[in-house]
Amino acid sequence: AQSVSQHNHHVILSEAASLELGCNYSYGGTVNLFWYVQYPGQHLQLLLKYFSGDPLVKGIKGFEAEFIKSKFSFNLRKPSVQWSDTAEYFCAVAGGYQKVTFGIGTKLQVIP
Amino acid sequence: GAVVSQHPSRVICKSGTSVKIECRSLDFQATTMFWYRQFPKKSLMLMATSNEGSKATYEQGVEKDKFLINHASLTLSTLTVTSAHPEDSSFYICSALAGRSATEAFFGQGTRLTVV
C-alpha cells in the first residue's frame, strides 16, 4: 500500500521568506508524485508533478520540487513566498491504477 | 486544463434520507473517476474508484451499500449517500483522470454534505 507523510501541518512565514515543505512517501514500485494546492474557497489545483526524467520539477507560480529517490522524498520549495501563496498544500503519490493517495496537507500562512 | 464539475457544492439533508452527488468531466471523457472524503484536519481519503461501465472498487472500510457509485457514462459518475446519518457529514471530492495517457487527476470543487 502507498502512503504519504507531510511533516509540517501549519507553517507561518513572512513575505519574501523561503519555503520548503517536506513530503515522504512509501510505495514498492514506480510512482508518480504531485503537489496540489487549495486556495481558500477554491478547487484543488495541480501545482507540479513528477513522472520521470529530471528529478527537479518546476511548477506554476515559481514553485519547484525535487524527487530524491533514495530518500523517498518530494519536497516542495519556493525561494520567496508572497501573501497570495497562503493556501493549503497537499503532497500526493499515485502508484498502481493511478489511485492518488494524499498527505494530510500543510496550511501555509504568509504574513504581509 | 481539463474541467471537472461537481454538483451540488453544498447540501443539507435530514437523517435517513439519501443524497446524490454528481461528478462530470466537462471537456473530456473519463473512464476512471475517484471519490474522496475529507475529514476535518485530515487528508483526503480515497473512498472508491469508479470505472465506466463496471462496478466501483471500494477501499477497505468503505460501505459499498451506503455509498453507491454509478459511472454510467464517460462523463458522469454519481455518489449516492444512502440513509444518511450525521456522521456522514463531510466534504466529498471527485476527480477524473485526463491528459496524455490519463495520468493526471483533475478535481471537482467538492460537495459539503451536512446531515441534520
Position B106 scores a pLDDT of 83
Q: CA-to-CA distance for B105 and B95, rounded, in angstroms?
A: 6
**B34 interaction partners in chain A (CB closer than 8 Å):** 99-100
User: Would the pLDDT of A83 be above 90?
Assistant: yes
Residue A35's alpha-carbon distances to A1, A38, B21, B98, B103, in angstroms, are: 19, 10, 26, 17, 14
At B103 the pLDDT is 64
Which letter does DSSP use for residue B86 in this model? G
d(CA B97, CA B25): 9
| pLDDT, tens only, B50-103 | 888 888 999 999 999 999 999 988 899 999 999 999 999 999 999 988 765 666
Interchain contact A100–B (C-beta under 8 A): yes
Q: At A96, is the secondary structure helix, strand, or coil?
A: helix
Nearest chain B residue (CA) to A94? B103
| pLDDT surpassing 70 at residue A52 | yes
B6, B19 contact by CB (below 8 A): no
Cβ-defined contact of A102 to B43 (cutoff 8 Å) = yes
- Quick check: B110 and A43 CB within 8 A? yes
Res. A6 pLDDT band, cuts 50 70 90: very high
On the 0-12 / 13-18 / 19+ scale of CB atoms within 10 A, B47 is: buried
Q: What is the mean pLDDT of chain A?
A: 90
Binary contact (B109, A42; C-beta < 8 A) = yes
- Helix/strand/coil for A1: coil
Shortest CB distance from B107 goes to which of A4, A32, A44?
A44
The answer to whether residue A68 neighbours chain B at the CB level (below 8 Å) is: no
| pLDDT 10s digits, A14-26 | 999 999 999 999 8
Measure the CA–CA gap between B33 and B91, rounded to whole angstroms: 17
**Residue A4: its chain B contacts at CB < 8 A?**
43
Cβ pair A51:B110 closer than 8 A: no
Q: How far is CA B48 from the centre of its chain?
A: 8
Mutate to test the interface with B, among A43, A46, A93 (most CBs of B within 10 A): A43
